[in-house]
Amino acid sequence: MIFDVVKRSLQSASVLIPVEQLLGNCSGSRMPDVQPALLTASIARRVTEACPTSALAFDASRSHLTLNYGECTGCGRCIEVGEGAFLAAAKFARCGVSKEGLVRRFDLNRVSEITPDEPAMAETAERIRAILGRALNIREVDAGSCNGCEAEIIALTNPYYDLERFGIHFVASPKHADMLLVTGPVTRNMAEAVRQTYAATPSPRLVVAVGACGCAGGIFAGSHAVVGGVDAIIPVDGYVPGCPPTPAMLLTGILQVLHRRS
């Protein structure tokens, strides 16, 4: 009965994860990281061949390797063939960044990263409240996703992440929203609905493209029934890569977009 439920719920210990442990966390996301010191031309060639998307590109003439997280589905093949130069990321802060911010470039001649990794955000709960003021209302829009991103967005509301603690709510209509969180490669059949949803959202409004598909079309890039990433249809303020991005990555991304715009 209803009192048993309440009693049971009160008896269970809190599982809330402090925000400091969430920001930059990517456990279970399968995103790769790079050790520039261990990169060689043969590794660069091999990982680029193994990559099933165009996330990795190697320019042999200049010895430049590019890793575009926006196109990475986290399949882990680069880690398998990368002889230690590629490994599972322990931290990942490139969430909610610009499209250019998703890209890492390495110069193999100089054994260095041309664009050094951004330091993980060090936000505190107070700082987040200061940015948000009283609330942020998000309308989630599935523009053709496989529903993996939806599963992780829904997880943001569970007691581990408890998005409401920051004053962030999911709302039922774009007319109530400050931010659109858009998933999926935009399909031909959803393109018009995405345009209309954006038009119905009052300005100022923010758009966050979620997942490998939302960033650049993901595994569906090039399909005849897909238009492309979210920015093929509407302007995007920040990108959260991953297939799917974990709840911690989504939270990091949402806060990073606000941070960059504040």
Provide the binding-site residues for other proteins, judged by CB under 8 A: 1-2, 4-6, 8-9, 12, 15, 27-30, 52, 73-76, 88, 140-155, 157-160, 170, 172-174, 184-185, 187-193, 197, 213, 218-220, 222-226, 243-244, 246
Q: What is the torsional sign of CA 38, 41, 44, 49?
A: negative
Alpha-carbon Rg for the chain in angstroms: 19
Nearer to other proteins by Cβ, of 72 and 258: the residue is 72
Nearer to other proteins by Cβ, of 101 and 214: the residue is 214
To other proteins, the closest distance from the beta carbon of 60 in angstroms equals: 23
The total number of residues written for the chain in this structure: 262
To other proteins, the closest distance from the beta carbon of 145 in angstroms equals: 7
In terms of Cβ atoms closer than 10 Å to its own Cβ (0-12, 13-18, 19+), residue 24 is buried
Closest to 170 (Cα-Cα) out of 254, 47, 92, 73: 254
Closest to 170 (Cα-Cα) out of 187, 155, 185, 148: 155
Nearer to other proteins by Cβ, of 108 and 240: the residue is 240
Nearer to other proteins by Cβ, of 148 and 167: the residue is 148
To other proteins, the closest distance from the beta carbon of 228 in angstroms equals: 12
For 207, phi and psi rounded to 5 degrees? Answer: -125, 130
To other proteins, the closest distance from the beta carbon of 29 in angstroms equals: 8
Nearer to other proteins by Cβ, of 4 and 126: the residue is 4
Neighbours of 237 (CB within 10 A): 18
To other proteins, the closest distance from the beta carbon of 207 in angstroms equals: 14
Q: Hunting for tokens 């664009």 — which residue is that?
A: 115
Question: Distance between CA atoms of 96 and 36, rounded to whole angstroms?
Answer: 24
To other proteins, the closest distance from the beta carbon of 25 in angstroms equals: 10
In terms of Cβ atoms closer than 10 Å to its own Cβ (0-12, 13-18, 19+), residue 132 is middle
Nearer to other proteins by Cβ, of 17 and 120: the residue is 17
To other proteins, the closest distance from the beta carbon of 170 in angstroms equals: 6
Nearer to other proteins by Cβ, of 9 and 61: the residue is 9
Which amino acid would we find at residue 94?
R
Question: Distance between CA atoms of 89 and 34, rounded to whole angstroms?
Answer: 8
Question: Distance between CA atoms of 62 and 94, rounded to whole angstroms?
Answer: 25
